[in-house]
Structure 1
Amino acid sequence: MPKRTDIKSILILGAGPIVIGQACEFDYSGAQACKALREEGYRVILVNSNPATIMTDPDMADATYIEPIHWEVVEKIIEKEKPDAVLPTMGGQTALNCALELDKHGVLAKHGVELIGATADAIDKAENRERFDKAMKNIGLECPRAEIAHSMEEARDTMTRIGLPCIIRPSFTMGGTGGGVAYNLEEFEEICERGLDLSPTSELLIDESLIGWKEYEMEVVRDKKDNCIIVCSIENFDPMGVHTGDSITVAPAQTLTDKEYQIMRNASMAVLREIGVETGGSNVQFGVNPADGRMVIIEMNPRVSRSSALASKATGFPIAKIAAKLAVGYTLDELQNDITGGKTPASFEPSIDYVVTKIPRFNFEKFAGANDRLTTQMKSVGEVMAIGRNQQESLQKALRGLEVGATGFNPIVALDDPKAKEKIIRELREPGAERIWYIADAMRHGMSVDDVFELTKIDPWYLVQI
């Protein structure tokens, strides 16, 4: 299908200020989308409240508005610029929430503006925890046992059925904001109050605890003709319980059998079809119980995400650029893959013969009083990525790239420290920013791979690599 000619101008919603959980990966995707759409001859209007980004450079769009990403402000811009379509999938959670508000208040219908990339119904279905749960049941996929709560009374009632520990996730938030793991009643009350306050819809999902399960992500791209490709599989080094943005991640997934990979691949595509993501990139997250192989869908993001930036850099497949072109009517087989010099179409799944490791960078010393233990709420301020021929090379390069003064697995605990083992066990049980170095220290102090696995639930394959 050639590009659409009924659309002349497109409004792109940016991601707003750089905050923990929503950083420059959306500047990367927004800038790619601006370039791709202008290349196709469309007039591009950009709204972003952060002037310190590449996408707000004067050359990036035909009209740039440095204004708050709020539906009332965007309505005034729509009145002035009269765009034919709005692309909300490049600006993270902020842009999706704004697009839903525009739809809810009738702004899009009033001005005859279309949402491209993802419909309002698809966004709501993916982000509304209750609707998402029902959608997964429709296609025979399992979600973690969970219930919805809209008030503290409902939350307490739900907790009696789900039990403790449990995972609390507010709807329509980014980077796990307001969520957490509650091990006791006091923590449960505190997290629920904060979550209800931070969720725009005052809605919480209270999940059974999946702590210690393995976590995987699939980066999927789909077009209007229902062609789907998996750009990259990503495996979290850390088990469930640590936010994926705070976890060391590895691409492609290293500990999946081919059968497990194919099951996840088919499930990811089924999720996109059921949610109704017609075009563009999406990210689907899975949890797998290493004890019995039970697989559950944790969530999906109907937009370009943090992982999309990693998958793009890891494979050379420009997800944001391709997603922008798919949104205006192209199909995957009509677009060329830049990395192969145009020799293959974008419908070819990238295959990589190297290992990519991403390690998050933390800066707790600048946040006095912050809890430095890693949970389901994101705390990292950046990340590094390294490419190697094998896992060890890739991991070693990434550790050096963090610029924290480490040349690799430098010892943290002195070998003659009488309290060394006690300190190491505490750090492994409750992970912090330096957990990877404590794992190496544990082995220096005579702990076996099995001992470390029992404390961390990190796959033994990775522990052997260390």
Structure 2
Amino acid sequence: VMAEVLRRGKLSVDDISRITKVDKWFIHKLKHIADVERQLAEEPLTPELLAAAKWVGLADVSIAEITHKTRDEIRTMRRSNNILPCYKMVDTCAAEFEAMTPYYYSTFRGTEDEVAVSNKKKVIVLGSGPIRIGQGVEFDYCSVHSVWALREMGIEAIIINNNPETVSTDFDISDRLYFEPLTVEDVLNIADKEKPDGIIVQFGGQTAINLAAELERAGLHVYGTSVDDIDRSEDRERFDEVLTETEISRPEGISVTNLDDAVTGAARIGYPVMVRPSYVLGGRAMEIVYNEEELRDYMSRAVKVTPDHPVLVDRYMQGTEVEVDAISDGVDVVIPGIMEHIERAGVHSGDSIAVYPPQTLSARVIYTIIDYTKRLAVALHVKGLLNIQFVVAHDEVFIIEVNPRSSRTVPFLSKITNVNMVHVATQVAMGHTLKELGFHSGLVPPRPYVAVKAPVFSFAKMTDVDISLGPEMKSTGEVMGIDYHYARALYKAIVGSGLNVPTKGCLLFTVADKDKDELKQLAKAFSEFDFEIAATEGTAKVIASLGIDVEVVGKVHERSTDIIEMIKSGRISMVINTLTQGKHSARDGFKIRRATVEHGIACLTSLDTAWEVLRVLEFMQKRRLVYALALQDYVGGGDDLA
């Protein structure tokens, strides 16, 4: 805000300092940047002015935007005039004594470069950037294991990442670490310096994948799955061609670039539909919409649709979601495991409880999933990791999406199957075949135990965030429960995730109309566990029709039976609440869900999760957990599946 005020020249440095209480030293720095921006807009771009712009920290893309040039033109002008960054060593010892670490940052203000570049074969591995919801530490795990694999192969491994809290930015992980933003400009600057043999992008999540095309266009060789094949999996029309070629079904959908096409397409497909922008991670801005009014609201509020940034509109299929992580060399495909999600399709995979091996899928469905995975990996010429999400509806298998890169389930699957997926995928990306590495194509035989991945949420630390689960990812971590029996593994995972499951007390139901048929059996099951049952009026009528005693509670704003007050007082032990349509109902539901967070009460927003909590309750009553084993006690040591 201060920078924009300075750009417009509305207030002086003294005025801004007086209003904001920010020290003038910082405001003068901002003013200097604003002055350079003004020069760029008003004066011819000379080498001296370009150097001044880089000196104050303006990116090539920003300079290009101000001067109405392209980023490539700015980069070419910089290089031809020797306006290049130099790289300085990060002093990890705060000048107390001399420290020599291969840990560097760039600056345009220096002249003496401190990087010792070697002539060895070298590969750059792109990290995942800042860890945020949807871009988790799982991708950092993948980056680190890739670096270790490269170094084991005798290849010099260089990491580019800019998060100080990740393992990949520990200075002793790689041969050299560049603490730089994951942008095209910064990666190319490092490539100019290091002159690597190539770059690996498939272990840094969507952040790294999104850079691949421009890096290749600039002359960098991308190891593993080609940029063209990555685009074939990401681009809607090209991916539809792949599915036609491989004779694989997907939910009907279209790619739209304007509101009118979205409305027309959704009406043809039939509501509800899943809408999302393309090329995103973590399901950002993804929603299920149930009518045209909601679709119009989404298109105006959640996304900026353009020809370069289309929106995907898909038929929403309510079925079982299944996830697969595989390794392919373009010929053979190894599938370490298949994971079945507890929550039905529509809940983001990162927020779902996932079970290995699948507990409810038929042999026919499992075979189809294996077959589809092989077909897609070969058709897309995948060399490395591949993540596929399926939906199973009425015993038929459909593709949701394919990602030719690592996923957040790779660490989970690697640990429970004892197949170091990233290590193998890195070797494949560098030219080895799966047969050379001792692997056989197909599904690795399931292990004799069950592993459950449960999401961890941080809603208590994030105010005004709705805890309801949907297509947009909200979890900030995950835990694993492992046991030889599914109920015990589920119990361990849910307890580990921090979900406070009560064994007695009053259970509040308030669910959407579309869920009330399924609610009947669920309410009956909970009542048999001797829970007291309370519900809002509409939900209470359904429960009472079964002959179950139910306390009718009023809406949030009815003070005589205020649900919020009941939660605050401890009268309610757990809430089962599914999203309802309508402005007032949605507002009341949000208030209820936030109250449960603030008072440490379990709130389940998916009926599928509620059914699994019943399993946990059954186990807790029997109390048969008499021992605990470490992961290695189940899995064993070494990669004995190769």
Same-fold status (TM-score > 0.5): yes
Aligned AA (1:107): A
Q: Aligned equivalents of 1:7 and 1:254: distance in 2?
A: 49
Q: Does 1:372 align with 2:449?
A: no
1:240-291: CA deviations, max 9, x gaps? 11111111110111111222211110111101111221x21211111111xx
- For 2:121 and 2:390, the matched residues in 1 are separated by 39
Contact 1:411-1:441 at 8 Å conserved across structures? no
Conserved in 2, the CA contact under 8 Å of 1:335 and 1:346? Answer: no
Aligned to 2:458: 363
Alignment of 1:169-318 (within 5 A): 169-194=276-301, 196-197=303-304, 201-210=308-317, 212-224=318-330, 226-277=331-382, 279-289=383-393, 292-318=394-420
User: If the length of structure 1 is used for normalisation, what is the TM-score?
Assistant: 0.83
Give 2:211's aligned residue. 98
State the AA in 1 paired with 2:418: G
Task: Check if 1:107 corresponds to 2:218.
Answer: yes
Hey, what's the Cα distance between the residues in 1 that align with 2:342 and 2:319? 11
Write the distance in 2 (CA, Å) between the matches of 1:26 and 1:140: 31
- Structure 1 pair 195/173, CA: closer, same or farther in 2 (3 Å)? farther
Assess, with a 3 A threshold, how the Cα gap between structure 1 residues 442 and 144 changes in structure 2: closer, same or farther.
farther
Aligned counterparts of 1:438 and 1:28: Cα–Cα separation in 2: 42
- AA aligned opposite 1:252: P
Distance in 2 between the 1:83 and 1:332 partners? 25
Aligned residue type for 1:204:
V
CA 1:442–1:239 in 2, change beyond 3 Å: closer, same or farther? farther
Which one of 18, 21, 37 corresponds to residue 150 of structure 2?
Answer: 37
Please give the alpha-carbon distance, in whole angstroms, between the structure 1 residues aligned to 2:525 and 2:609: 15
1:330 aligns with 2:422: no
Equivalent position of 2:161 in the other structure: 48
Question: Structure 2 residue aligned with 1:410, among 482, 491, 502?
Answer: 502
Give the 5 Å matches for 1:114-129: 114-129=221-236
Q: Is the 8 A contact 2:334 2:444 kept in 1?
A: yes
| Residues 232 and 311, structure 1, Cα contact 8 Å, conserved in 2 | yes
Residue deviations 1:333-388 (CA, integer Å, cap 9, x gap): 3336xxxxxxx889882531100001111122222222221110101111111111
Q: Is the 8 A contact 2:127 2:140 kept in 1?
A: yes
- Taking a change above 3 Å as real, the CA distance of residues 443 and 13 of structure 1, as seen in their structure-2 partners, is farther
Contact 1:428–1:438 (8 Å) recurs in 2: no
Matched, 1:145 2:252: yes
Moved more, 438-447 or 198-207: 438-447
Deviation at 1:299, TM superposition (A): 0.6
Q: Distance in 1 between matches of 2:459 and 2:120?
A: 47
Contact 2:469 2:606 in 1 (8 A): no
- Per the alignment, residue 433 of structure 1 pairs with none
Which of the pair has the greater relative contact order for Cα pairs under 8 Å at 6+ separation? 1
For the residues of structure 2 that align with 1:439 and 1:107, how far apart are their CA atoms?
63
Is 454-463 or 314-323 further displaced after alignment? 454-463
What residue ranges of structure 1 are gaps of 5+ in the alignment? 1-5, 337-343, 431-436
Matched, 1:131 2:238: yes
Closer/same/farther in 2, CA of residues 152 and 428 from structure 1, 3 Å limit: closer
- Kindly state the Cα deviation for residue 330 of structure 1 after the two structures are TM-superposed: 1.5
Tell me, in whole angstroms, the C-alpha distance in 2 between the residues paired with 1:152 and 1:264: 35
Q: Retained in 2: the 8 A contact 1:251–1:356?
A: yes
Helix, strand or coil at the partner of 2:344: coil
Question: Aligned pair in 2 of structure 1 residues 7, 300: CA closer, same or farther (>3 Å)?
Answer: farther
- Pair 1:17–1:180, CA change in 2 (3 A): same
Q: Secondary structure at the match of 1:306?
A: coil
- In 2, Cα distance between equivalents of 1:184 and 1:269: 37
* Letter of the structure 1 residue corresponding to residue 261 of structure 2: E
**C-alpha deviation, 1:186, in angstroms:** 3.7
Q: Which amino acid aligns with 2:218?
A: V
Distance (whole Å) between structure 1 residues aligned to residue 464 and residue 378 of structure 2: 45
Structure with higher Rg: it is: 2
**What is the CA–CA distance in structure 1 between the aligned matches of 2:514 and 2:266, rounded to whole Å?**
28
Q: Deviations over 1:297-332 (max 9, x none)?
A: 111110111121221122121111111111111222
How many percent of aligned residue pairs carry the same amino acid? 33
RMSD over equivalenced CA pairs, Å: 3.1
Q: Which residue of 2 aligns with 1:3?
A: none
Q: 2:275–2:311: 8 Å Cα contact kept in structure 1?
A: yes
The 1:63–1:194 alpha-carbon spacing in structure 2 relative to 1, beyond 3 Å, is farther
Equivalent pair of 1:428/1:456 in contact (CA under 8 Å):
no
In structure 1, how many angstroms separate the alpha carbons of the residues matched to 2:417 and 2:443?
Answer: 12
Contact 1:168 1:204 in 2 (8 A): yes
- Aligned residues of 2:334 and 2:440 also touching (Cα < 8 A): no
1:88 maps to which of 198, 201, 206: 201
> Residue 163 of structure 1: CA displacement?
2.8
Q: Match for 1:28 among 120, 123, 141?
A: 141
* Pair 347,164 (structure 1): closer, same or farther in 2 beyond 3 Å: closer
Aligned residues: 425
User: Deviation per CA, 1:144-168, whole angstroms, max 9, x where unpaired?
Assistant: 1101101223222222222321100
Q: The residue matched to 1:169 in structure 2 has which SS? A: strand
1:7: Cα distance to partner?
8.9
Q: In 1, distance between residues paired with 2:484 and 2:122?
A: 44
1:17 is aligned, of 103, 124, 130, to 130
Superposition deviation, residue 438 in structure 1: 9.4
Q: Is the 8 A contact 2:305 2:311 kept in 1?
A: no
- Map 1:160-175 to 2 at 5 A: 160-175=267-282
Change (3 A) 1:256 1:461: farther
Structure 1 stretch displaced more, 354-363 or 148-157: 148-157
Aligned to 2:448: 353
- Distance of aligned partners of 1:391 and 1:218 in 2 relative to their CA distance in 1, 3 Å threshold: same
DSSP 3-state at the match of 1:115: coil
1:390 is the counterpart of 2:390: no
CA distance in 2, matches of 1:200, 1:308: 33
8 A Cα contact 1:87 1:115, kept in partner = yes
Match of residue 261, structure 2, among 142, 154, 157: 154
- Cα displacement string for residues 64-105 of structure 1 (whole angstroms, at most 9, x for unaligned residues): 1111111111111111111111100010000000112323xx
1:422: how far off?
3.7
Counterparts of 1:248 and 1:161, CA distance in 2: 33
Read off the aligned partner of 1:401 and give its amino acid letter. Answer: G
Kindly tell me: are residues 200 and 386 of structure 1, through their superposed partners in 2, closer, same or farther at Cα, counting changes over 3 Å?
Answer: farther
Q: Name the SS of the counterpart of 2:124 in structure 1.
A: strand
The answer to whether the 8 Å contact 2:299/2:305 transfers is no
State the secondary structure of the residue aligned to 2:326. Answer: strand
Provide the C-alpha distance between the structure 2 equivalents of 1:459 and 1:379, rounded to a whole number of angstroms: 16
8 A contact 1:165–1:209 mirrored in 2: yes
Deviations 1:177-213 (A, max 9, x none): 1111112334322333455438994111101111x31
Residues 312 and 411 of structure 1: is their aligned pair in 2 closer, same or farther, counting only changes over 3 Å? Answer: same
